[in-house]
């Protein structure tokens, strides 16, 4: 398998509207999930650079689609989180629709990573997102985040419970990670690389 060097990642651009999104010459991997779930932290863990994507303890940090180009092989799109209520309703709708529109804009999405906080019940929006993806041919991985907040066995129990109650596609790959403790990051990077390689 041709390896992908995630360390060779550069910031490409930030887009506030679909129109500003860059041309797609490379396959695109999209990170989505509620605000504060750890999308930007995951980007930093994957590329082994704690300063590349901006993260914050208060939700709503990423307000645009932020693109990173990895090893000239793929784009990572870090989407604004959904379900962030503290901004004005107008603004919150603008972020949320940037996320929704993203999937219906006709943009080619090679792979979606759906991030779910291992400790929390998936929100209505998470469920809608999964339903939506199950009705499209967009492949997705489920990524449980913040697994350092639980013991390994608690984590496994939680993963099983969540997989039982949610409609994950039978062929969706499931990963459990901690961006903080760098757990499961190598596995996920390998999963993304082999997926990208399989696109030929």
Ligand X SMILES: Nc1nc2c(ncn2[C@@H]2O[C@H](COP(=O)(O)OP(=O)(O)OP(=O)(O)O)[C@@H](O)[C@H]2O)c(=O)[nH]1
List of residues 6+ apart from 77 with CB closer than 8 A: 21, 28, 29, 30, 31, 65, 66, 67, 102
Distance between CA atoms of residues 159 and 143, nearest Å:
10
40 contacts ligand X (rule: CB under 6 A):
yes
Which residue of this chain has its Cβ atom nearest to Mg ion in the complex? 62
- CA separation, residue 154 to residues 83, 126, 164, 189 (Å): 26, 22, 15, 24
180 contacts ligand X (rule: CB under 6 A):
yes
- Shortest reach from residue 180's CB to ligand X, in Å: 4
Binding mask 110-149 for ligand X (x = CB under 6 A): -----------------------------------xx-xx
39 contacts ligand X (rule: CB under 6 A):
yes
**Which residues 6-65 are close enough to bind Mg ion by CB under 5 A?**
39-40, 61-62
Place of tokens 């309703």: 89
Contact footprint for ligand X (CB under 6 A)? 35-41, 55-57, 59-62, 80-81, 145-146, 148-149, 178-180
């Amino acid at each position: 398998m041709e390896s992908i060097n995630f360390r060779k990642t550069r910031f490409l651009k930030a887009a506030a509207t679909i129109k500003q999104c860059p041309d797609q010459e490379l396959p695109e991997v999209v990170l989505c999930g509620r605000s504060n779930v750890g999308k930007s932290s995951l980007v930093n863990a994957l590329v082994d650079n704690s300063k590349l994507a901006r993260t914050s303890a208060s939700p709503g940090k990423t307000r645009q689609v932020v693109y990173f180009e990895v090893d000239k092989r793929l784009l990572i799109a870090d989407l604004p989180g959904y379900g962030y209520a503290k901004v004005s309703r107008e603004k919150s709708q603008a972020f949320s629709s940037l996320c929704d529109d993203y999937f219906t804009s006709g943009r080619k999405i090679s792979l979606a990573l759906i991030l779910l906080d291992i400790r929390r019940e998936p929100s209505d929006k998470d469920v809608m997102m999964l339903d939506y993806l199950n009705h499209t041919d967009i492949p997705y991985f489920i990524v449980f985040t913040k697994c350092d907040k639980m013991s390994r066995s608690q984590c496994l129990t939680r993963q099983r419970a969540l997989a039982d109650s949610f409609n994950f596609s039978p062929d969706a790959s499931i990963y459990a990670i901690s961006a903080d403790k760098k757990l499961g990051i190598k596995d996920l990077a390998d999963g993304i690389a082999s997926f990208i390689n399989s696109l030929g």
